[in-house]
Amino acid sequence: MDTPKIGVYVCNCGTNIKKVVDCDEVAQQASEQPGVVCARSYKYMCSNPGQEMIIKDIQEQGLDRVVVSACSPRMHESTFRGALAKAGLNPYFLEMANIREQCSWVHTDPRAATDKATDLTRGAVRRVVFHEALEKRFVDMCPATLVIGGGITGLTAALELAESGNQVYLVEQSGRLGGNLANVDLTAPYLDSARDLIRERILRATRNPNITVFLDAKVESLDGYVGNFKAKVASAGGTVPVEIGSVVVATGYKPFDASRVKAFGHGTNPNVITSFEFEAMLRKGRILTDKGRPPRYVTVIHCVGSRSEEFHPYCSRVCCMTALKYGQEIKSALPDAFVYDLYIDMHAFGKGCEDFYKQASEIRTIFMMFQKNTAPQILPGGPKDDCEMFLRVDDKLSGEEVDIPTDLVVLMVGMEARDDSAEVARLVNISRDKDGWFIESHPKLDPVATTTDGVYIAGCCQSPKDINESVAQARAATARIMAKIAKGRIEVDAVFAEVNQDDCSGCRVCNDLCPYGAIDFNSETRRSNVISAMCKACGACVTACPSAAIKGRHFTDEQIFAQIEGVL
C-alpha cells in the first residue's frame, strides 16, 4: 500500500466544541501522525468556506484520505462526502471523529476533553488508511406509490402524486374516506368548514384516474426494497397484488377513551360528552342536554388523557384551539349561554391562534386554570339549582376553590396511537416510540423518512398534529418521492454487508437477526444473500455469523482494529 496523504480538519462548531476542547491542540497532535500532510482547525467546517478549504487541500496537496473531527456523522457525513466527490476523490475515503456529541457535549474538564478528542481523531487517522474506494449502485424506480390511510394526510399525499401523473394505490381500512376530520364541524382558528375541506379532496381523489381507492381494505404484505416494493391489498373484492416504488404511511390516530378517567363519569353521565361527540352535535346544528333542552352552562375541560402521568405525558396539540373554537360556536348558537374553559396551560401557538385566543376572551368565555394531574370534581345539582351539576375547581388564577354551574361538560380528549400501529409497523418495517407513534429518520432533519428507505410517514401516525402540519408532512413526503421518480433510478449506498458464498454454511442465523429483512436464503445453493438495497450496514449479521462469512463494506476488521489501536 502506498503511503497515504491524509488531511485532518478539526471543527470548532462555533463554541459547541471549542468551549471545552482545545481544537488547535487536537489539530497540532494530529499533524504529527504518520501520513498526515496537513491538519487544520476551523470555526465551522461544514460551512461553504470550510468545505472549500478541504477541496482546495485535496486538489493542491494531493490528499487521498480525509479525516473530519466534528459532530456526529449522522449530521454531516454526507456533506463532507460531497466535498470529497467535488474534489474528485472517492467519497468513502472520508472518516469522521465525533468530538461534539461524544466529547465536548458530555465533558466539562477541558484537559480531559481535549485528550479524548485527540485520541478519537488519532483513531480516525489510523482507520482511514484502510478505507477502500467504493462505488455506489443504482436500481430502477417504480413510479407507483402505495398510500396507507385515507384521511386528510393520505388524501393530500395521493392527490399530490396522482396530479403529477403517477399511479397511486390508496388503501383505507374503513368504508369511507376522510378520517377523523370527516367528523369535525369547523376548524380553528379561521372557522372554515371541515366538511367542505374534506369533501373537495375526496371528490378529487375518487375522480382522478391515477388513484385506485381500496375501501374496507388492508395491506396484507409488503416485500422488496426502495423503488421495487410488492404489496398485496386485501378487500371485499379479493386480494390485489400491486408493484410500487414508495409507501406513505398516513394511518392517523384514535381519540382517547374518556371513560378511562373515572372522575368525569363519561359513559355513565349523559351530559358528560367528548369533543368528538360534541362535534356531532354541532354538525347537526343542535346543542342539547340529555333532556332535550339547550344548556345554559357549558364547561369545556382540556387535556383529558393528555399531559397526564396516568395516561399520556405528551400534549395533543390541537385541543386548546379546538376548545376555544367551541366557545365561539356555543356563543353563536346559544348567545345567552355561559361557557367555562378549564385548562392546565393554554397553548395558542401557530398563525392566527393568539388572535383566536383573544377573540375567545372578548366573547366572554370564562377561563379557569387547574393543576396538572388533578381533575375537576363533578357534583350533582339539587332540585332548586338551575343547572344539572357543578364542577368543583381549584382555580389557580383566583387562588380559590370554585363551584361552576354546568349543564353540559365537553371533554377535550387527546390523541392516541392507533391499536393497529404495531401491526402496521411490522408490515412496513418501521419502528415505534414508547407511546406507539411511528419514528422518523431524524426529528428535525428528516421528519417524514424512516429507517426503511422508500417508506415515509406523515400526519398523526407520527405524533399529534393539526391539519396544516399534517398536510405539510404529506407534501414533504410526496416531494421526496417525486424527486426519486424524476430521476428514474435509486442510488444505493455502497456501504452494505456481503456474504462470501464459499464460506457461508447456510445456518441462516443472519436471516433471523437482520432488523431490516435484508437477507434472504437461496434454497437451491443453501446459502444466504444480502439484498444490498435494503441493507443498512448495521453489522448485526457480521458479528453473529459463526463462519465469519459476512463482511461489512467500509467496516472491515482491518479498519476497526486500526481505529481501536489508534484510540488506545
What does the mean pLDDT of the chain come to? 94
- Residue 130's pLDDT is 96
- Encode burial over 141-163: b for 16+ CB neighbours within 10 A, e otherwise: bbbbbbbbbbbbbbbbbbbbbbe
**Residue 268: predicted pLDDT:** 94
**For residues 477 and 155, is the Cβ–Cβ distance under 8 A?**
no
Residues 393 and 280: beta-carbon distance below 8 Å: no
- pLDDT for 383 equals 86
The residue written with cell numbers 500500500 in the block is 1
With residues binned 3-state (H G I as helix, E B as strand, rest as coil), the percentages for the chain, rounded to 5, are: 35, 25, 40
pLDDT of residue 1: 62
CA dihedral 411, 355, 363, 272 (to 10 degrees): 0
Distance CA 104, CA 71 (A): 10
| Partners of 499 in beta bridges | 550
Which letter does DSSP use for residue 498 in this model?
Answer: E
DSSP, res 439:
P
- How many other CB atoms are there within 10 angstroms of residue 454's CB atom? 26
Residue 266 grid coordinates: 363519561
pLDDT at position 136 is 80
Peptide bond into 49 cis (omega under 30): no
User: What is the per-residue pLDDT for 516?
Assistant: 83
Q: Which residues of the chain have pLDDT under 70?
A: 1
Specify the DSSP class assigned to residue 85: H
Which pLDDT score is estimated for 481? Answer: 97
Q: Quick check: pTM over 0.85?
A: no
Q: What is the pLDDT of residue 515?
A: 85
Distant-in-sequence contacts of 51-55, Cβ < 8 A, 24+ apart? 51/79, 51/80, 51/82, 51/83, 51/86, 53/9, 54/7, 54/9, 54/80, 54/83, 54/84, 54/87, 55/83, 55/86, 55/87
CA–CA distance, 25 with 10 (Å, rounded to integer)? 10
Residues of 110-135 as b/e, b for ≥16 C-beta within 10 angstroms?
A: eeebbbbbbbbbbbbbbbbbbbeebe
